[in-house]
Amino acid sequence: MKKLLLVTGLLQKALWCTVFGFQFLAKRVFPAVNCLLKTESLKFAKLLLIGLVLFHAGSLIAQDMDIVPKPTTLKRQEGVFRLNHDTRIICTSESKEEALSLKQYLEPATGFKMPLSRGSRSLANSILLHLDPELKTGTDEGYDLKVSTDRVIIRAAKTAGLFYGIQTLRQLLPVDVYAQHVTQQTWSIPCVVIEDEPSYPWRAMMLDVSRYFFDKTYVKRYLDIMAAHKLNVLHLHLVDDPGWRVQINKYPKLTEIGGFRGKGVNRYGGYYTQDDIREFVAYAAKLHIDIVPEIELPAHIQSALAAYPWLGCTDKILETPTECFISRELLCAGKDSTYQFLEDVMTEVVELFPFKYIHIGGDEARYDRWKTCEHCNKVFKAKGMKEYNELQGYMTRRIEAFLLTKNRSILGWDEITHMGLSPNAAVMTWHRPETAVAAAKAGNSVVMALTGHAYFDTPESKLPGEPPAATWLAPISLEKAYDWEPAPAALTGEARKHILGAHGCMWTDRFMHNPILQDFPALNEARSYEYVEYLSLPRMAALAEVTWTPQEQRSWGSFEARMKQQYRRYSYNGYNYRVPLPKVNKPVKTSSGFRITAECPVNNAKICYTTDGTYPNAYDEVYEKPILVNDPSEFRAVTVVNQRHVSLAFAFPQDDGKKMGDTGNDSNGLVLLKNK
């Protein structure tokens, strides 16, 4: 009995060590427990205590509650709140839009009507959305969420905070709540107290609709995906060499000619009418997402020159490119007609997009045309310029001055930092982190869209089976998309505050190189949707946590564990996503062969495997317990969520035979594939 009490005390200490993150102490305590439990008389107690350890460990892990992005603070309370047919939503007129959103989120799966009542006081069996201007949060997007056994209260100073509190509330419910049909379920919400707010005000995705056109229906779908991740800015890449996608009434040929490429049966394109844009801008506003339009200048604009050749330096008749490349054609920087065109375009653009920033591109301009242009050289010499990037700076500042009269600021890729930045200009750093440091120290706002962490048009790995994706960059795994901090370490104090946040980029030039990715109307296949979502998810979740959760509270292990449930949310929503490979440990040599253990990375999914070197599928053997194999190099495994969602295959490297001979060590092996 004394031994049992001693063991219990040691276990309690070990558990508390785990709570506070002192795993190195826990590792010392558990061996002592094991030593005490070796006697035959304590076998039952050993089993009992192991069960208790697992139970409590599970409770500790559950404190994260599988919420993505992870809240700033979360305290688990006793009990649950249960939704039922009589649960109502209480709101004021100011929070009615958020209440309607909550109602629309909950009704399809629960079947409950969730009636709305006007008021500002909580009642039993209700969800109160309370706007409280006195609530002290660091940003307008912060919120408090309190779930007790008889009511739910979400408080925020602004409606954006209420909306984000609703997203968290959805994740606290059983995952079936994301289903689009009624499911039989006890709709329990664990009692919690959450105080939450984002680390950065800019949490964004870019969707390239110029190289491949997505209709307004898909833009709305992409906005929904972003909103579920608490992202708040969509950057629409509306203009590039292969396509002009926004209707400009004064210049109809921009979309009539520049909006399409190719001829005859190969003609492809499309554009958004101004009514289309107003529609999805309004839709985005309900999701508390701002839309940044990008109108490129002076490069990446051959689509405009194809429509109006006089915009260029040569007046040459051009076509909208059918292949993706960086055109040498530029807007002429020396003609007044160019600036009149840009002012006319921007006048219509700012009327369509109410957000503060207009993205003007500014990247990858090659000055060959300007160097031989009579009009450009006249300005070049008159202004006493020495380099042609100064001429680009002249154009940029001239358009910026016009936009300032419309209460707008420019945002440009990091090349604009070498052209003389004005104090109001914002920089989007994509490939030279030092530009972010310099701009922030100079007082300019900066958004981080780094190629090494946030270019989601790259694959996650080099494994066979990844879809065609950008090859000019190394793959960006989910862990790499997670393991960074937007604010450079070199920045401190006030300069660090100029880093607005981070920006994931979904370029679509691969569609021009790989027709197999394009939609196939004859088969009713929206391949483009599948492709964009496969590359965006789950890396969008990593970006969301990087920009929402404080760096000191983030850890890859915690994120990976919480993602197990997030994948199921994607499935219920009907989103496509990249399924993670099984987590397979290094084989352990035994007298009977090699023992292989594995862990499924998705809740309620399964691992299917083969041991003869063939590629596994959803109908192969299901992994349920450690297995013995004669040759680990012939082992293959996939994660199977459902028939639609199956991972690429895991395999041990075939040249790793010597390492596989190690004994007594279950350290993690490499996730590699040799696809037969």
Is residue 564 within a helix (H) or strand (E), and if so which, with residue range?
helix 556-573
518-525: long-range contacts, CB 8 A cutoff, minimum separation 24? 518/212
Measured at the CA of 249, the angle between CA 244 and CA 254, to 5 degrees, comes to: 25
Question: Is 85 tagged catalytic?
Answer: no
Compute the distance between CA of residue 415 and CA of residue 432 in angstroms, rounded to an integer: 9
Considering just the CA atoms, what is the radius of gyration of the chain in Å? Answer: 28
d(CA 471, CA 609): 30
The strand pair at 73-82 and 188-196 is best described as antiparallel
453 is catalytic: no
Report how far residue 530's alpha carbon sits from residue 537's, in angstroms, rounded to the nearest whole number: 10
Which residue in 371, 234, 206, 364 sits closest to 297, CA to CA?
364
Work out whether strand 233-237 and strand 239-240 pair parallel, antiparallel, or are unpaired: unpaired
In one-letter notation, the amino acid at residue 617 is N
Cβ contact 269:260 at 8 Å: yes
In angstroms, the CA 232 to CA 367 distance is 36
Number of residues written out for the chain: 676
Q: Which two tokens stand for residue 23?
A: 């795993």
> Residues 66, 197, 240, 533: which is the catalytic one?
240
Extract the tokens encoding 537. 């998810």
Separation CA 31–CA 437 (nearest Å)? 49
Q: Is 240 a catalytic residue?
A: yes
Residues 6+ apart with CB under 8 A from 524: none
Six token digits for residue 350: 């700012």
Question: Is the previous residue joined to 538 through a cis bond, with omega within 30 degrees of 0?
Answer: yes
Give 145's strand partners. Answer: 154, 194
Residues 6+ apart with CB under 8 A from 617: 608, 638, 646
DSSP category for residue 152: E
- Judge if the upstream peptide bond of residue 616 is cis by omega within 30 degrees of 0: no
User: What is the spatial distance between Cα 181 and Cα 572, in angstroms, rounded to a whole number?
Assistant: 10
**From 94, 107, 364, 621, the catalytic residue:** 364
Q: Looking at the annotation, which residues are catalytic?
A: 240, 300, 364
